[in-house]
Amino acid sequence: MLDEYGADYSDKPVSRLEDSALESEYMALWALQNDFLMWAIEGAKGEEKTPLRLTNRILGLNFAAIHTSSMVRICLYPILIWLIFRFLRCIIDVHSCRL
């Protein structure tokens, strides 16, 4: 691309926020974020601010949300409960497990 367009072209990738207009636009977008990640970052204190702790908090929330929506879906279709029970019963019988 350098041979075709020269050193400066409109779609050139930006490796750093060198341009002050780009930096101010980025900071404005960052300030507008209103999601759980931002709430967790702003509400974290001390060691809770580490990326590992924030990630664990988000993973826990995602697990709870997926689990809840899955349970609602299963309850909407009672045939699924019966099918899951039959499937588990077969596994128990094959592997000689006791309930």
pLDDT in tens, 35-69: 888 888 888 898 888 989 999 999 998 888 888 88
More confident residue, 84 or 2: 84
Q: For residue 53, count other CB atoms closer than 10 A to its CB.
A: 14
Asked whether 81 and 74 are in contact (CB, 8 A), the reply is yes
Give the span between the Cα atoms of 25 and 14, in whole angstroms. 14
Task: Please tell me the predicted confidence (pLDDT) of residue 20.
Answer: 63
What's the domain range around 54? 14-94
The pair of three-digit structure tokens given for residue 67, joined into one six-digit string: 């689990």
Is 47 contained in some domain? yes
> What's the total number of domains in the chain?
1
